[in-house]
Amino acid sequence: MDRDLQGYWKENLKYLGILLSIWFIVSYGFGILLAPTLNEIQMGGFKLGFWFAQQGSIYTFVVLIFVYVYLMNKLDKKYGVNEEDA
């Protein structure tokens, strides 16, 4: 079976770039840059900017891990490099 490994890695790096950008926006953008604006909103008794800095970026990172696993399993099957075939 001829595998397009360059296409595989190109798509993999695209997924990584998108997911890391989302994490950067949530952790740095919401937790630091937009914190003063977000602090005007309360969530569970805490200011929203503080929540993103302390908890939101961690929750987002965990969700992104599961999204990455899903996307990579789908990508592995698309390019025929999934572990079940090894």
For tokens 């740095």, name the residue.
28
For tokens 């969700």, name the residue.
63
**Is residue 84 domain-resident?**
no
pLDDT of residue 1: 44
**Is residue 86 domain-resident?**
no
**Is residue 54 domain-resident?**
yes
**Is residue 45 domain-resident?**
yes
**Is residue 33 domain-resident?**
yes
Q: Which domain holds residue 62?
A: 5-79
pLDDT of residue 86: 52
Alpha carbon of residue 18 to chain centroid: 7
Alpha carbon of residue 82 to chain centroid: 21
Q: How many domains does the chain have?
A: 1
Per-residue pLDDT of the chain (86 residues; tens, 9 = 90+): 457 889 999 999 999 999 999 999 998 998 889 889 989 999 888 888 888 888 888 999 999 999 999 999 999 998 888 776 55
